Amino acid sequence: MDSSYVVWVFLAALVTAVATGVGALPFFFTREIAAHWLGVAGALASGIMLAASFSLLYAGLQSHIALSLVGVVLGMVLVAAVDRLLARYSALVPGGGQFTNQTDWRQMLLIVVVMTVHSIAEGVGIGVSFGKLESTLGLVTTIAIAVHNIPEGLAISSVLVPRGVAWWKAALWSVFSSLPQPLMAVPAYWFVEAFKPFLPFGFGFAAGAMIWLVFSEILTDALEDTPSETVASVVTLAIVGMLAFQLVIAPGT
Q: Which residues would be at the binding site for Zn ion (CB under 5 A)?
A: 52
Query: How many alpha carbons lie under 13 Å from residue 168 in its C-beta half-sphere?
Result: 0
Q: Least Å distance between CB 195 and Zn ion?
A: 18
Helix axes 35-63, 65-89, angle to 10 degrees: 150
Choose between 105 and 195: whose C-beta lies nearer to Zn ion.
195
Q: HEC profile for 124-159?
A: HHHHHHHHCCCHHHHHHHHHHHHHHHHHHHHHHHHH
Minimum CB separation of residue 207 from Zn ion in Å reads 10
Smallest gap, in angstroms, from Cβ of residue 227 to Zn ion? Answer: 29
Asked if residues 25 and 174 have their Cβ atoms less than 8 Å apart, the reply is no
Considering beta carbons, is residue 17 or 52 the nearer one to Zn ion?
52
Residue nearest to Zn ion (CB): 52
**Identity of the residue, 52 or 192, whose beta carbon is nearer to Zn ion in the bound complex:** 52
Of the candidates 130, 159, 133, the one whose C-alpha atom is nearest the C-alpha of residue 142 is 130
Minimum CB separation from Zn ion for residue 44, in Å?
15
52 or 79: CB nearest Zn ion: 52
Euclidean distance between CA atoms 187 and 209, whole angstroms: 23
Residue type, 124: V
Distance of closest approach, residue 192 Cβ to Zn ion, in angstroms: 21
Q: Measured from the CB atom, is 52 or 150 closer to Zn ion?
A: 52
